[in-house]
Structure formats: structure tokens, C-alpha cells
Amino acid sequence: MWKAVCVLALCSQLLYGSVFRFASPDLAAKQAARRIADLIVSKKGDKTVLGLATGSTMIPVYRELKKIVCEEKIDLSNVVTFNLDEYLGIPSSHPQSYRSFMYAHLFEGILGSGIKEENIHIPSSESWMDYERLIESEGPIDLQLLGIGRNGHIGFAEPGADGESKTMIVDLADATRQDNARFFDGQVERVPRQAVTMGVGTIVKAKEIVLLAFGKHKADAVAQALTAPIRSEVPATFLQAHPRVDFFLDSEAAQQLDKKAVRRFANARLLIDHRIQEGDLWVANGKIVAPQDQADEEIDVRGRILAPGFIDLQINGGFGCDFSRNPERISEVARQLPQFGVTSFFATVVSSSRERYRAVLPRLQPCEFCGEGAANLGIHLEGPFFAPAYAGAHDPQYILPEGEALEGVYGDLQGVKLVTLAPELPKADQLIRELKSQGIRVLAGHSAATLEQMKTGIETGVGCCTHLFNAMKPFHHREPGIPGAALLQPQLPYTLILDGAHLASETLMLCWKCNPEGMILVTDATEILGLPDGKYQLGSMNIEAYNDRVYVANTHTIAGSRLSLDKAVRTLHRLTGCSLAAALEAASLKPAQFAGLYPAKGVLAIGSDADFILLSDALDVEATYIGGTLVWSQFREASGR
Ligand code: F6R
């Protein structure tokens, strides 16, 4: 059965390409614009060829792209654009022509970027015959943007188009004309009957394709495009054969994708109600469901522990990607994390310059299901409102002990879910209140707070302590500080980094004895996670790794870790002798509760997300499921009944 399951999951990954679900069309549009801008910048002045689409879906994308190009002064003098299509039968000056659309929504807003009129190509009744040759001579297209019609068209390649078709004149389908009547005062008869369009064969020659779709009315077409057999009745299904297509969807457009079979994970040892108990787990639509009469698929997990996926509240990167420096590579990290049982995480950014926050935060926006990897649930800003004496590995030049207006420091707080700050700072009260009012959770850390100051912080809204004992005023018998608060208040959560470097095992034992309920495991992993000893970076700081530890270069100041969360769970179990259930909950239930994710995440409850892991009794992760989909497994062989 295992083999069958693995094969099945693999197929669905192929068909699904990378599906990115965003909380809103705006977020998806921002990410698409960011992808385009990053591509242009990465070419360092070499030619970038873009394939552009029109339609309502593209309007926010172009709005964001204009913003980025202007704010970041991106040079477009070597950008060449090819539009997908154009109506025939209306002049190019007509307000509803795609030429007018492109100038109104994009080109007029980026005239100062160096973009050249001769590099903008929009097909027309006069030029269409040369269009294919022109694309071939300038191309290949590096990145093609696509919308999708309700009838599954891409460009105006309507149902019936063959998969190899080139630029051509087409009759618009009745459904398309009716749909596009919204741009012609609702009058179908005013919608042109013909158009010129790139063919499917032209479109799929692009190196990379990003298809965007928003709204319920696109859900069916999206599901067909991704899961139906490849056929000309739904031209978008031809995209399945392309190696690099990303679908950027809002939750409404993604809703049909969830309609998958009912699956029963039988013979499991489930972590439910704080203990491990024998039973079956039922999954459908990406969620845990009540037991059903029958399963479409049964997976015998042969007595393995089945627990909620791990959630890392503090991770700076991994595998050579530092979120504070290379945020555009976050999906590479996300794809690696399921091997450690991590199903979601909070991308953590160390104290940085104002410019860096503005450059980095828009690229770390939460994404519910990023391709095949763990989900980034939001940003954790660690700093810069810290006590200078406890800056640790944070660059002292960015520390702001006096406090300042949040927006002035970070720019836009969109996507920010957690902030670590020192509660004793003069303006901390105001900052905590403001963060709280924006739904952002506040953690105390890098701080010289006394017990009293911490208590005041808690009253104002501090909800957790960041890496207890590290980078804070230590426990003193007359001044117990933050450690005193965390150890004595069972309702106060605190995070620990169990990598053998940050804490003595006796300190862990003390924490476990005093406040086991509050303990949350985090990694604070740096880009070194998964890489060999050597010299690396954390934000603007040079760091180095040896002996399982990470230091600020040429010092003995610890600088994050190279720890994985599954290892931290095993360490907790081994050093404290706690139950398997308690060790697992410290990396699942506990972070979910603090971050406000519970009960959607962190538990195996009916209605919760089907983010779960299979483990051996030694707590080695053997398989990881996100939204009910197998995203990582160490099984190679069939082992079922
Ligand atoms: C646009 C195009 C069409 C649209 C599609 C969706 O150049 O060729 O395929 O992308 O019809 O349109 P909207 O975004 O308006 O729903």
C-alpha cells in the first residue's frame, strides 16, 4: 500500500506543478510582480523577455509592478515584452483594445524606467503574421504571465485549440464574448468576434509560466487545468506538460482542488488529547474528518506514531538561504523542511536596516501551501527594539533601544505575525500596544528586563519569551528577570533552542520541572542548516559553524543554530525523560496555541488541517503530509497489506 500511496502522491505533484494559495488576490499579485522584478534584476542588465497578459486579473499585478519598478528604480531598458493577444475589428486606439489596456495599466506608469517603445510588442491585424518570427528572434520568453478563461482558454486560444498551435487569428468563443461583455458596458454585441492570439504551442515555449486566477468563477477552470486529462477542449491542460508552471491562486480559485478522495490512515498510534492512542485518521479535502463509512484509499501505517506536523516559530533560513538576505529563495527552504517534520514555519528576519526591511518583507509574505514545501505562515521580526547589552548576534548598528514608529522602521507590516522586542525599553509599551492592535503577537527577548518590567510587559501584551536564558539578563536570586517570570508563570509560553550549545542540560531540566506547559521548541536555524562547517552570514553579520555550533565570526557569541526541529524534539525527550506525547506537543500544539493557529493546526482534530507526520518510536520522522498530501517520505519500498 505504501508504494501505491507514494506513486499516487508523486503523480499529483506532477499534475499540480507548484500551486501557491494566497490569502487574497492582492498578495498573489504582489508576489507575481516581485517574481518579475527579481527576474529582471537577476539578469543584471541582460535582456529579459516577458510575455504579458491582459484582463482584470492582471490589473493588481501591473499596479504592484509599477510600484516596485518606481520605488526600486529598476532599469527596464533591456526588457522586451510580447503581449498574448489583441482584439480584431476595433482600432488599437479603442479604449478596450489590449494596447490601450497595457498602456493604461502598465506602460504609462513606467516611462521613467528606460523601457523602449520598440521593445513593446502587441499583435495587431497588420503585424500578426510576423509575430511568431519576432518572438523566435527575440525569445525565448523568460517568463509568461497568464490568466485563464472560465472555459479554460489561455490567451485567446479557445477550446479546440491544438497543443502546438502558433500565433493565429481565432473566432472568440461565445462564452468568452459573454464574459468580456463586462468591458463593453455589458453589451455582448459590442465585443469583437475575432482576435489574434499566441497559440498554445507558442505559450508553452516560455521558460517559466505564472498563471494567476482569482475568484470562485475560476475554480472549475483551475481544477481542470491542473487535474483533467490533457486535451484541446480545455487548452489550459496543455500546461501540465510544461516543467515550470506556477499557479498563483486565491483561496476561492483553489477551492475545487481540495475535492480529493477520502483516505483512511489505518493502524496508527495517534497523538490525541496529550497521549498516544491506537486508532485511524480520516482525511478528506485537505482536512481531518470524522470516520466515514468507507474510504476511497486506505493506508496502513503499521503502528507508527502519527502526530501533528511541527511548527517552527523562529527560523532564519537554511540550506544556504538567509531570509534576511535572500528572501527570494524561501521556497527552497520550505521544500527542505518536511524532512524534519516541519509543516509550517514563521520566516524570521534579524535586526536590519530600514532599506533591508523594505526589500525583504514583501518577499516573505505568508503562503498557505507553497508548492510542495512547508507553509510560511508569516514573518517573525526579531529586533531591532533590543537592549544593546543583549544584542547577541544582531548587528549593533541596527539596534534601536529608544524605540521608534513601527512603519518608519519596518515599512509595511503586512504578513508580520510575531515580533520579538525588549519590554523594558522606554517606548516598549506603545510598541506592544500597537503591534497587538494589528493582531501581531509580541515576544520578549534580547532584553535586560527585570521581573517587574516583564510583568508590566505581560500586562500590556507580551505573550511569550524568546529563547529563554539566551540574550537576556540572567536569573539572579534578588532579580529573577525574564527567566523568573517564565519559570514561575505556568501560563507563560517561552521558546528554547535545544542544540546542545544554547543551554546546559540542567537548565532544560529546570525549565521542564518548573513550567513544562509553557515550553515551545524552536530552531533559530541559520542558513547553515543542512550545510557543512564553514563561514556564512546571518543578516549583515559574518558567522561560522563548527562542532555543531554557530558563532559570530572570530568570537564566542552564539549566532543562531544549525538545529533541525525533529532533533530538538528527540533531545527534549532524551534529556528530560518526558513522554513522547509531551515532546511532540512542544513542537506542534504549543507553538500553534501561542501563534493563534490552534485548533486549525497543532492537533489531530476533526476539521483541523491535515498537516501531520509519521514517526518511529525513536521519534525519527518517516513521512510528512501537508494538507493531506504526502510531501516527504523516507519509504522507498512497498510495505502494505
Ligand atoms: C488576456 C487573455 C485572457 C485572460 C482571461 C482571464 O490577455 O488572453 O486569457 O487572461 O480571459 O481574464 P480576466 O482576468 O479578466 O478574468
Q: Which residues contact 513 (CB under 8 A, 6 or more apart)?
A: none
C-alpha cell at 304: 507508527
Helices (H), 492-588: 505-514, 565-576, 580-585
The pLDDT value recorded for residue 373 is 86
pLDDT tops 60 at residue 637: no
| Backbone phi and psi for residue 269, each to the nearest 5 degrees, phi listed first | -110, 100
The pLDDT value recorded for residue 300 is 87
The pLDDT value recorded for residue 16 is 35
Confidence category of residue 636, pLDDT binned at 50, 70, 90: very low
Which residue from 57, 100, 198, 212 has its CB within 8 A of the most atoms of ligand 1, so it is best to mutate? 57
Q: CB burial class (10 A; 0-12, 13-18, 19+) of residue 530? A: middle
The pLDDT value recorded for residue 258 is 57
The pLDDT value recorded for residue 129 is 94
Output the CA–CA distances (angstroms, integers) from residue 198 to 149, 163, 166, 207, 400, in the order listed: 15, 12, 6, 15, 54
Catalytic residue status for 620 = no
The pLDDT value recorded for residue 17 is 44
- Nearest-angstrom CA–CA distance, 505 and 484: 18
Kind and range of the H or E run holding 550: strand 549-552
- Signed CA dihedral, 77, 82, 87, 90: sign only: positive
Relative to beta strand 369-370, strand 18-22 is: antiparallel
- CB 378 near ligand 1, within 6 Å: no
Centroid of ligand 1 to alpha carbon of 398 (angstroms)? 45
Q: Which residues contact 90 (CB under 8 A, 6 or more apart)?
A: 96, 97, 192
Percent of the chain whose pLDDT exceeds 70: 95
- Signed CA dihedral, 635, 637, 638, 640: sign only: negative
What confidence tens digit (pLDDT) does each residue in 424-459 have? 999 999 999 999 999 999 999 999 999 999 999 999
- Nearest-angstrom CA–CA distance, 390 and 470: 9
- Nearest-angstrom CA–CA distance, 178 and 95: 18
The pLDDT value recorded for residue 7 is 28
**Displacement of CA 376 from its chain's centroid (Å):** 4
| pTM, entire model | 0.68
Confidence category of residue 589, pLDDT binned at 50, 70, 90: very high
Q: Determine the angle formed by the axes of helices 428-437 and 451-460, rounding to 10 degrees.
A: 30
The pLDDT value recorded for residue 372 is 60
- Nearest-angstrom CA–CA distance, 122 and 204: 18
Write down how long the chain is: 641
Centroid of ligand 1 to alpha carbon of 39 (angstroms)? 23
C-alpha cell at 182: 463586462
- CB 97 near ligand 1, within 6 Å: no
Task: Find the catalytic residue in 524, 566, 609, 611.
Answer: 524
Centroid of ligand 1 to alpha carbon of 179 (angstroms)? 10
Centroid of ligand 1 to alpha carbon of 148 (angstroms)? 6
Q: Indicate the range of 11-25, 67-81, 483-497, 615-629 predicted with least confidence.
A: 11-25
Confidence category of residue 60, pLDDT binned at 50, 70, 90: very high
- CB 54 near ligand 1, within 6 Å: yes
Instruction: Tell me the DSSP string of 119-144.
Output: GEE---TTTHHHHHHHHHHH---SEE
Protein residue closest via CA to atom 1 of ligand 1 = 54
Closest atom of ligand 1 to CA, residue 146: 10
